[in-house]
Structure 1
Amino acid sequence: MTSVPDPASRLGLGLAAIARPAYITSGRASDLGDDRAVETLRARTRDLLDAAYAAGVRYLDVARSYGRGEEFLAGWLADHPEIADVEVGSKWGYRYVGGWRTDADTHEVKDHSLDAFTEQYALTRELLGERLGIYHVHSATLDTGVLDDARVHRALAHLRDAGIRVGISTSGPAQADAIRRALEVRIDGEPLFTSFQSTWNPLEPSAGPALAEAAGAGARVLLKEVFANGRLAPGGQDGTAGAETAAALATRIGVPVDRLAVAAALANPWAWRVLLGPVDTGQLASNTAAADLDLPSGVDGELAALREPAEQYWATRSARPWA
């Protein structure tokens, strides 16, 4: 494959929605249909990776809990040894327990213990090897204790010192608290956490100031869930005022709402990468087109007005069904 510069150099491809049969995004019945066998989703993942690379995307995001995400990505990388200019990030801290079913009672289980890190890093390393560039604690929060666990921090420092960037991903209404606590952690006099992957979108921008602080301290910032799990994607509006107003705004300026959401995320100068989560190449093409979109003057104020109270946003997200 031939390397393509820009226009998507600030975009990344996440495999959360395509590497397992069930997830909480809207429209999966129509987007994926009933055939979600392992080989079907493996093939769809490969198509997405091919198209993303051709579009200029150079950051790829997976996690231990993304079904077979690491396995699918490792297979694609092995089939393309000529590709040396992508960076891969993964995460530990959740186990996928869904049994490849859409109707499982539980799809993933959180565990931020040292034993979980040791087990999961070994599995990640077996699949991704030297291609692993960033390793995040998956959804680090103050209540799990992982941001105060000296033994976990020392284990993560071994990765840092071996050249792997260590970070956290965040979720929930207290994302900013987790980010700022992580920025305080130093091992052997050096910052431990220098990558932050956090939810940010026009409906839930509350982590923005803390993320700007992280970027100012030299950390990388990656924005996830920029489509609000489908609420800011075509056909995904759920009747809430923010989602409906966003869709109307997108119509007025003549773009699909997903493109507006990506452009809004890219407008944050402190964002290193904006992660996309499509399940087909058509969605990917619409998402990546946002890299060339200049938002009209005054739209930033209208986007800011879409903000929901963080507690309300996360309660809505928690109520979304896996499908």
Structure 2
Amino acid sequence: MSHPASRLGLGLAAIARPAYITSGRASDLGADRDVATLRARTRALLDAGRAAGIRYLDVARSYGRGEEFLAGWLDDHPEIDDVEIGSKWGYRYVGGWRMDAEKHEIKDHSLDAFTEQYAQSRELLGDRLGIYHVHSATVDTGVLDDARVHRAMTHLRDAGIRVGISTSGPAQADAIRRALDVRVDGAPLFTSFQSTWNPLEPSAGPALAEAADAGARVILKEVFANGRLAPGGDDGTPGARAAAALAERLGLGPDQVAVAAALANPWAWRVLLGPVSTAQLESNTAAAELTLPSGVDDELADLAEQPQQYWATRSARAWA
């Protein structure tokens, strides 16, 4: 029998760099965010995640020192041979480990960016790298139509690394469906999809279900809506307020309702968590064994915002 947490993954987006858009960081992390401190926090989370049964770990080139922190932890645990690692290319971290950086990351979906960043990921993660995503692929950047990038990524696919895309923005479904159509040498290129899905923004669901039906893996990210569906994260918007009230009525944390709702999607291979403390991780993973009561599905569906509205709210969030 699989462990209850086997469908969960641990992402390092929020812990491996000093600034991010998740709410509550001032109280969750405090002011001490030097490299050594966040490395130690990351290691504690990786230890706790492993103890909880999590076996999928997610990083990206733009997650500050995420790949480096993860590689160091893996090097110190050579006995660990049952985890799968996913990373992403397409953004560069340019924040300089500063809270007040003018820019924290820059998007680049060029062939040169892929070549450079894959070499960096491979140097750190080696043969442990199992999935490599285009980071926040959209129809507009052209990466889903770039035959040179596709050919370069085919070398990974043919070497046994699963190739995929992550998605963001109100047109996630368009990117997913476009990527599903990409074939190289007669075979699908993109067979992993990491997309935002939560009760406030479920619009990618039908396209993700199609991806799963086609044999791809589906990984759900931002299930807490960057903190809006976490304890204390109610930002006063109708959806977040209603989610908090629903969770209180059920005697659960809003994060637990969000995780349980994501896990209820049968097409989801993994549901990513992004905590910055072991206490948050413990609360999140408790939802792995939850089944939401009958009728809650309809209430959760009522929380959905218009995608344009949801993503405008997300874009306005400050890095802190």
TM-score when scaled to structure 1? 0.99
Corresponding residue for residue 275 of structure 1: 272
Deviation at 1:13, TM superposition (A): 0.1
Letter in 2 for 1:33: G
Say which SS state the counterpart of residue 140 (structure 2) adopts.
Answer: helix
CA-to-partner distance for each residue in 1:176-197, whole Å, 9 max, x for gaps? 0000000000000000000000
CA-to-partner distance for each residue in 1:13-54, whole Å, 9 max, x for gaps? 000000000000000000000000000000000000000000
Say which SS state the counterpart of residue 144 (structure 1) adopts.
Answer: coil
Aligned pairs, how many?
A: 320
CA-to-partner distance for each residue in 1:143-185, whole Å, 9 max, x for gaps? 1000000000000000000000000000000000000000000
Corresponding residue for residue 149 of structure 2: 152
CA-to-partner distance for each residue in 1:219-276, whole Å, 9 max, x for gaps? 0000000000000000011000000000000000110000000000000000000000
- The gaps in structure 2 that reach 5 residues or longer are none
Corresponding residue for residue 193 of structure 1: 190
Q: Name which of 304, 308, 313 aligns with 1:311.
A: 308
Letter in 2 for 1:188: D
Say which SS state the counterpart of residue 294 (structure 1) adopts.
Answer: coil
Say which SS state the counterpart of residue 20 (structure 1) adopts.
Answer: coil
Corresponding residue for residue 252 of structure 2: 255
Corresponding residue for residue 48 of structure 1: 45
Corresponding residue for residue 57 of structure 1: 54
Corresponding residue for residue 287 of structure 1: 284
Q: Name which of 87, 90, 112 aligns with 2:87.
A: 90
Corresponding residue for residue 120 of structure 1: 117
Corresponding residue for residue 129 of structure 2: 132
Letter in 1 for 2:241: E
Q: Does 1:73 align with 2:109?
A: no
Say which SS state the counterpart of residue 118 (structure 1) adopts.
Answer: helix
Say which SS state the counterpart of residue 89 (structure 1) adopts.
Answer: strand
CA-to-partner distance for each residue in 1:99-132, whole Å, 9 max, x for gaps? 0011111000000000000000000000000000
Are the equivalent residues in 2 in contact too, given 1:5–1:56 (CA < 8 A)?
A: no
Deviation at 1:294, TM superposition (A): 1.0
Corresponding residue for residue 36 of structure 2: 39
Are the equivalent residues in 2 in contact too, given 1:64–1:92 (CA < 8 A)?
A: yes
Deviation at 1:5, TM superposition (A): 4.8
CA distance in 1, matches of 2:46, 2:24: 21
Letter in 1 for 2:15: I
Q: Does 1:141 align with 2:138?
A: yes
Say which SS state the counterpart of residue 142 (structure 1) adopts.
Answer: coil
CA distance in 1, matches of 2:51, 2:3: 10
Q: Name which of 236, 241, 247 aligns with 2:238.
A: 241
Deviation at 1:298, TM superposition (A): 0.3
TM-score when scaled to structure 2? 0.99
Are the equivalent residues in 2 in contact too, given 1:98–1:104 (CA < 8 A)?
A: yes
Are the equivalent residues in 2 in contact too, given 1:26–1:236 (CA < 8 A)?
A: yes
Say which SS state the counterpart of residue 17 (structure 2) adopts.
Answer: coil
CA distance in 1, matches of 2:214, 2:200: 26
Letter in 1 for 2:58: D
CA-to-partner distance for each residue in 1:73-105, whole Å, 9 max, x for gaps? 000000001110000000000000000011111
Q: Does 1:23 align with 2:32?
A: no
Letter in 2 for 1:138: H
CA distance in 2, matches of 1:249, 1:169: 30
Deviation at 1:291, TM superposition (A): 0.4
Say which SS state the counterpart of residue 193 (structure 1) adopts.
Answer: coil
Q: Which segments of structure 1 move beyond 6 Å, counting only runs of 4 or more? A: none
Q: Does 1:211 align with 2:208?
A: yes
CA distance in 1, matches of 2:35, 2:2: 33
Identity among equivalent pairs (%): 84
- The gaps in structure 1 that reach 5 residues or longer are none
Deviation at 1:7, TM superposition (A): 1.3
Say which SS state the counterpart of residue 99 (structure 1) adopts.
Answer: coil
CA distance in 1, matches of 2:250, 2:2: 27
CA-to-partner distance for each residue in 1:47-70, whole Å, 9 max, x for gaps? 000000000000000000000000
